[in-house]
Amino acid sequence: MMRVGLTGGIGSGKSTVAAFFEDLGIPVYNSDAKAKALMAEDKTLQKEIIGLLGEEAFTEGLPNREYIASQVFPDPERLGALNALVHPAVRKDFDRWAGEQQTPYVIQEAAILFETGGYRNMDHTILVTAPEQERIRRVMQRDGAAEAAVRVRMERQWDDARKAALADFVVHNLTLPHTRQQVEQLHRQLLKLSYSAGPGDC
């Protein structure tokens, strides 16, 4: 099963591109949603997070997002420590999920694929890009967020140049019809790559 990582900075259109792949019948694993679900369900992971951040990290068994954010975002070392707990759990869950799929390749969508080193677990990677001003405009519209808040979230991610240096493919998401065309072309390329890798080569 060929694994393809899909990433892009906030507002780049990563989820939009993921939906286009789904339209072509390719299953997409949403790492960010899964990370949230695992934090709510996986008792072992919960214990580890409590060990790092204290009992306040959970309220009635559910992650206390505000508290967790207040503990990790101002402190890169603590954020790294939390990621070091959550990412292996997500990776394991992705491996299990990927093993159940029947398609020539699967996609793992993750906001920070390069930052975490998760891309090393992938056969190929796709980066979605868009101009910074356009990304800010999209997120302000999507989330009703203020520009400064969007910029703070952006600053936690690597810039596009750093990610593009590691990506195998780049989708420039400007107009939606052109983006869909790029995804269709990429899909054909990925199918070819999956056939040349051969069945069972995973």
Q: How far is CA 164 from CA 24, 80, 171, in A?
A: 25, 22, 10
95 or 143: CB nearest ligand ADP: 143
- Among residues 46, 108, 116, 173, which is the contact residue for ligand ADP, using CB under 6 A? 173
We find the least distance from the C-beta atom of residue 121 to ligand ADP, in angstroms, to be: 20
**Virtual torsion, Cα 134, 139, 144, 147, nearest 10 deg:** -60
Q: What angle do CA 130, 131, 136 make, to 5 degrees?
A: 95
Query: How many residues interact with ligand ADP (rule CB under 6 A)?
Result: 15
Residue 163 interacting with ligand ADP (CB under 6 A): no
We find the least distance from the C-beta atom of residue 173 to ligand ADP, in angstroms, to be: 5
- Among residues 47, 92, 120, 142, which is the contact residue for ligand ADP, using CB under 6 A? 142
Choices 48-56, 63-71, 117-125, 167-175; region in contact with ligand ADP by CB under 6 A: 167-175
Which amino acid would we find at residue 122?
Answer: M
11 or 63: CB nearest ligand ADP: 11
Residue 8 interacting with ligand ADP (CB under 6 A): yes
Residue 14 interacting with ligand ADP (CB under 6 A): yes
**What are the residues facing 170 on neighbouring strands?**
127
Residue 72 interacting with ligand ADP (CB under 6 A): no
C-alpha torsion sign, points 108, 118, 121, 49: negative
We find the least distance from the C-beta atom of residue 112 to ligand ADP, in angstroms, to be: 12
DSSP assignment of 96-159, as one string? HHHHH--SSEEEEE-TTTTTTTGGGG-SEEEEEE--HHHHHHHHHHHH---HHHHHHHHHTS--
Residue 157 interacting with ligand ADP (CB under 6 A): no
**What does the alpha-carbon distance between residue 59 and residue 56 come to, in Å, rounded to a whole number?**
7
- Among residues 5, 11, 104, 118, which is the contact residue for ligand ADP, using CB under 6 A? 11
Name, in order, each residue with C-beta under 8 angstroms of 22's C-beta and a sequence gap of 6 or more.
Answer: 28
5 or 11: CB nearest ligand ADP: 11
For ligand ADP, the binding residues (CB under 6 A) are 8, 10-16, 138, 142, 173-176, 179
